[in-house]
Amino acid sequence: MNTKLISLLTAAASASTQLLHAHLIGNGPHDHGAMKYDFSVRPPAGVLLAQAARPASPASPAPVAANNSSNSAKAAPFQAFAPKVRTRADANFLYVESDGMPAHNMMVGITAWQQQVPLPQPYTGNNAWRIPLNPMPSKNPVSIKGRFLRGAIALAANGIPIFNPQNNRGEVAQEIGELDQWGGHCGRADDYHYHATPFHLQSVVGKGLPVAYALDGYPIYGLTEPDGSSPTKLDVFNGHELPGLGYHYHGSTKYPYVNGGFHGEVVERDGQVDPQPRAQPMREAGAPLRGARITGFTSKESKSYSLKYEVSGETRHANYTLNDDKSVKFDFVDGRGQVKSETFTPRPRGPGGGQKGKGGQKKGERK
Ligand SMILES: [Zn+2]
Ligand SMILES: [Zn+2]
C-alpha cells in the first residue's frame, strides 16, 4: 500500500464525514469517485415493516434470538446502521436483516446501465442474510475468479450484498462503467448491490471495525488495519492472519476489490454461495441501454424516486413510486416530456423463484 494512496483515502474519508453532515447529493460526473453520504435518501420504512410482518415459512423456523459476546462483536458493524439494519443470532449464525436500500445516494455515475433501478428487497425473516459465527478455514480454499458469478459473496455493514467483482458475464463491473460512485448498481430484480468494497462505510462504522463480512464468516476490513497501519503480506484472496484479529480480508482499489476467494468453508451451488437470500423481482429484467449515463437520483418522502439519465443527446427520467399495496408505479419520461406509465406488482416467490424470476405482473397503461 503506498502512502500517497493512504493520504488520498484519508482525505476522502474526512471529506466524506463533512458531507455526511452537509446532506449533499453528488450529481455531476465531475464528482465521480468522491465518497458521500446522503441520509436524505431514506428507505421506505412502511415497506420494511410490512415485509417483516410476513409469517415465517414452517419449513425453516426463525432462529431463536441470542445475545452472547461472540455474536455481539460480529454484529457491531451492522449495529452502526440500526435500526435500518437488524441482527439476531443462534448458535451458528448471525442473521442480518435489511430492505436492501442503503442510506446513501445511488446510481449516479453509471455509464453502462441495464435499465434497472433500486427497489426495496425483503431480506428479512427466513430470507435474512446469514454470517457464520465460527468460520472454519477450508481445506480447499476457492478463488472467486470466474466462479460465484451469481449472488453475493459478502455482506456490507449496511445490509447491502456485495457481489463478485466480475458481473454475471465475467466482466469486472468496476472497470466497465457499471458501478455508481458508491460501488454499486442494481441487478435483474432491481436489487441494489455492490461489486466492490464500500470503503465509504468506514466513516460510519468507525476506524476499528470491518466494513463487511464475507459469506464464509471472515471480516473484510477497509484499506487499513484497525490501528491505522497498512496491511502487509496479503495472500491471493487479499487476506491474512494477525494476532488478536485472526484471519480477515481487506478491500482493495484494484482487482479483486473485495475478498478474492473464500479462506473459509462455503457451500457452492448453481454458481453461488448457498444458501442466501433471494431478491424479489417485479418486472422483466432490463436490457443494456447503449450510451446512457446516469446523472441524478433523488428521493421524495422515501416513497418516490427519480432517476435522471442522458442518452442520445436528451435527458430522460425514470420516476417511480412505491405504493402501499407493494406495487410500484413507473413513469418513464422521454426527452420531449412524453410519459409512458407502467405499474408492477411483486410476483409470488416460489422455491428458488427470486433470482431466476422472469419479472413481475404488469398492469400496462400507456399514454
Ligand atoms: Zn451486479
Ligand atoms: Zn489486516
- Tell me: the pLDDT tens digits for 12-63? 444 443 333 333 333 333 333 334 445 444 433 333 333 333 333 434 444 4
The more confidently predicted of residues 362 and 289 is 289
Between the CA of 150 and the centroid of ligand 1 the distance, in Å, is: 9
Q: How many CB atoms neighbour CB 221 within 10 A? A: 25
Radius of gyration (C-alpha) of the chain in whole angstroms: 20
Between the CA of 240 and the centroid of ligand 2 the distance, in Å, is: 6
Find the length of the chain. Answer: 367
* pLDDT of residue 11 exceeding 70: no
Between the CA of 127 and the centroid of ligand 2 the distance, in Å, is: 31
Quote the pLDDT of residue 71.
73
Please report, to the nearest 10 degrees, the dihedral formed by the alpha carbons of residues 93, 119, 343, 40 taken in order.
130
Between the CA of 337 and the centroid of ligand 1 the distance, in Å, is: 30
How confident is the model over 283-297, as a mean pLDDT? 96
pLDDT-based confidence at 346, cuts 50/70/90?
confident
Closest-approaching ligand to the CA atom of 246: 2
Q: Alpha-carbon distance 197 to 249, whole Å?
A: 11
Contacts of 322 (CB under 8 A, 6+ apart): 44, 47, 119, 120, 303, 304, 328
Between the CA of 198 and the centroid of ligand 1 the distance, in Å, is: 14
How confident is the model over 85-110, as a mean pLDDT? 97
Between the CA of 76 and the centroid of ligand 2 the distance, in Å, is: 18
Between the CA of 134 and the centroid of ligand 2 the distance, in Å, is: 19
Between the CA of 119 and the centroid of ligand 1 the distance, in Å, is: 14
Q: What percent of the chain has pLDDT over 70?
A: 75
Please say whether the beta carbons of 226 and 206 come within 8 A: no
What residues does the ion ligand 2 have nearby, CB within 5 Å?
225, 231
Output the CA–CA distances (angstroms, integers) from residue 255 to 143, 162, 238, 248, in the order listed.
13, 14, 10, 17
How confident is the model over 66-85, as a mean pLDDT? 83
Quote the pLDDT of residue 16.
40
Q: Alpha-carbon distance 223 to 95, whole Å?
A: 26
Convert the pLDDT of each residue in 200-220 to its tens digit. Answer: 999 999 989 999 999 999 999
Quote the pLDDT of residue 69.
59
- How much is the pTM? 0.80
Please say whether the beta carbons of 239 and 247 come within 8 A: yes
Q: What are phi and psi of 76, to 5 degrees?
A: -55, -45
Closest-approaching ligand to the CA atom of 180: 1
Between the CA of 319 and the centroid of ligand 2 the distance, in Å, is: 43
- Cα angle 144, 148, 151 (rounded to 5 degrees) comes to 130
Contacts of 16-19 with CB under 8 Å at 24 or more apart are 16/200, 16/203, 17/203
